Amino acid sequence: MVHCFTHETKRPLQSGTRYQGTRKGRRHVSNEYIWETFDTLFKTVHRQGRRVAELEARVADLERRLRKTLDAERLDDVTEPLPAERAA
Does 67 score more than 80 pLDDT? yes
Mean pLDDT of 20-31: 68
- The sign of the dihedral angle between the CA atoms of 26, 30, 36, 38 is positive
What pTM, to 2 d.p., does this model score? 0.46
Task: Examine the pLDDT at 47 and tell me if it is beyond 80.
Answer: yes
Domain ranges in the chain are 5-79
Position 71 scores a pLDDT of 86
CA 23 to chain CA centroid, Å, is: 40
Q: What is the pLDDT of residue 21?
A: 55
Whose CA is closest to 29, among 48, 6, 46, 62?
A: 6
Q: Which residues pair with 46 in a beta bridge?
A: none
In angstroms, rounded to a whole number, what is the distance separating the alpha carbons of residues 3 and 39? Answer: 13
Share of the chain above pLDDT 90, in %: 39
